[in-house]
Amino acid sequence: MKHKSVQFLAIGSILFLLSACAPARVQVLPTQTVSAAVEATKSIEPTSAPIQISTILPTVTAELTCPKISSDTQFDLPKKSSGFEESILNYLNNGGDPARIESIASTSEMQPFFSLSADIDGDLRPELVTITRDLFEDPATIRIFHCHQNDYQLVKSFSPDGISFGKPEFATKIFDAEPPFIIVRAGRIAGWGQDFLAIGWLNSEWRFIHLATGTTPSEIVLFDLNSDSIKEIFIKTRTAATPGGGISRVIIDSYSWDGKGFAFISSDMPPGTDRVHYLDDAETAWKSGNPLLAISYYEIAARDPNLSSYWTTYEVGTNQTELATPYQQAFAFFRIVATWFYLDRPDLASEYIQEMSETFPKGKPGNEFVRAAQAFSDWYEKEPDFSKSCTHAIIVLDIESPNLVPNHLGDWGVANPIYSATSDICELN
């Protein structure tokens, strides 16, 4: 009996040990994730940061959509600025298509705003950016309407100083790590200026960024020139932004992000269409230290018959606009001659003196510069000194044609080269 008792005891011990090693049974409780997520979503204020939908959230977040679009929704144009925001929100939250609101409003007698719809915060739902004209407000106001929790809300407004209206044109990325921005072409309350603004989400807040300023009309391009993941700004605009600017020309201004805004880098000018443009390009080339490029531009101004010749104020006032072409051409030849003498190449200067003598014979407009160039050459042959030789050319013009330069050269507006005295013809800066 004792043996059997020991046996049963041993078996019982073994079974106890085996049961201790078996996995425990876990009771699965209902998860609280769905209700908690919904509560957290409801607590978000309309003016808070845009909601970034994560794929690991419960499927209930799929209900966070914009109001279902209905083609029957009408937009009631407000008669006062105080009702503008309410009218926009009523339209959007009753199923109005944000992409069509501007075209619907345009059927009214006067279109009060411009707009563009795009996802500019990266939450996969479109925002609506509206910009009122000075029909309602002065300056214009930029508003951002954000789709959040199944309806639209006004989340930000801006009133940039001096802007009378703005037209959103397109959406594009400026910073690779940030959502796209809406690019706005804005007109000024006063003057002929045209500004470009970017509206979007940057560093956890809604912002507008001034990109560039030009004259009307202007065009803008954004391009990452230095591969730093931030695009540079290139604006095609024109010179002569004032009534006294004279004949204008195209200019390309470049801007780069400096951490706070877009700072001016440089300006470049494509070839112009007027003779004074090439005179200006020659001056610029000389100042930048490239005399051969300067000569090349002077050659175009001197020889190209297809260029227009912008007249001076004097020529217009005295009905002598036909003198603009020969005097500008002859002056361009003289500058070529002066440049070659400056470079101590009288042999090359003499070739151009011969050409200009044939182009502007005695008794014809422009021959005055031929005589000045010959006086320059005669003195340089005696004493190879640029300053003294050019002074004798000035003396010849002052004696024979004292008002030639002030009347027929340089008075082409502040956007073009200026020559106001005979001595200016020898200024090689």
pLDDT tens for each residue of 173-182? 999 999 999 9
**pLDDT-derived band at 132, boundaries 50, 70, 90:** confident
Q: What's the one-letter identity of residue 216?
A: T
Residue 209 · residue 187 · CB < 8 Å: no
User: Which residue, chain included where needed, has tokens 């925002």?
Assistant: 127
Burial class (CB in 10 A: 0-12, 13-18, 19+), 120: buried
Phi, then psi, of 109 in degrees rounded to 5: -65, -35
Residue 38 has pLDDT above 50, yes or no: no
Treating both helix axes as pointing N-terminal to C-terminal, what angle do 367-382 and 324-342 enclose, rounded to 10 degrees?
10
- The arithmetic mean of pLDDT across residues 407-429, rounded, is 91
Residue 235 predicted with pLDDT over 80: yes
CB-CB neighbours of 112 under 10 Å: 21
Q: Tell me the pLDDT band of 191, cut-offs 50, 70 and 90.
A: confident
294: tokens are 């300067």
Q: What percent of the chain has pLDDT over 70?
A: 82
Looking at residue 36, what is its pLDDT? Answer: 31
Average pLDDT on 48-70 reads 54
Q: What digits encode the pLDDT tens for the residues 347-389?
A: 999 999 999 999 999 999 999 999 999 999 999 999 999 999 9
Q: Could you tell me which of 174, 129, 170 has the C-alpha nearest to residue 147?
A: 129
In sequence order, the 6+-apart residues with CB closer than 8 A to the CB of 246 are 240, 276, 310, 412, 413, 414, 415, 416
Mean pLDDT of all residues in 227-237: 97
CA distances from 302 to 141, 264, 360, 429 (A): 52, 34, 11, 20
- Which residues, 6+ apart, have CB-to-CB distance to 222 below 8 Å? 172, 174, 183, 231, 232, 233, 234
Q: What residues contact residue 203 under an 8 Å CB cut-off, 6+ apart? A: none
Half-sphere exposure (Cβ direction) of 413: Cα atoms closer than 13 Å: 17
For the chain, what is the mean pLDDT? 84
Q: Model-level pTM?
A: 0.75
Token pair for residue 53? 């939908």
Whether 147 has a pLDDT exceeding 50, the answer reads yes
How far is it, in rounded angstroms, from Cα 147 to Cα 90?
13
Q: Which range (6-10, 73-77, 255-259) has the least confidence? A: 6-10
What single-letter amino acid sits at 257?
W
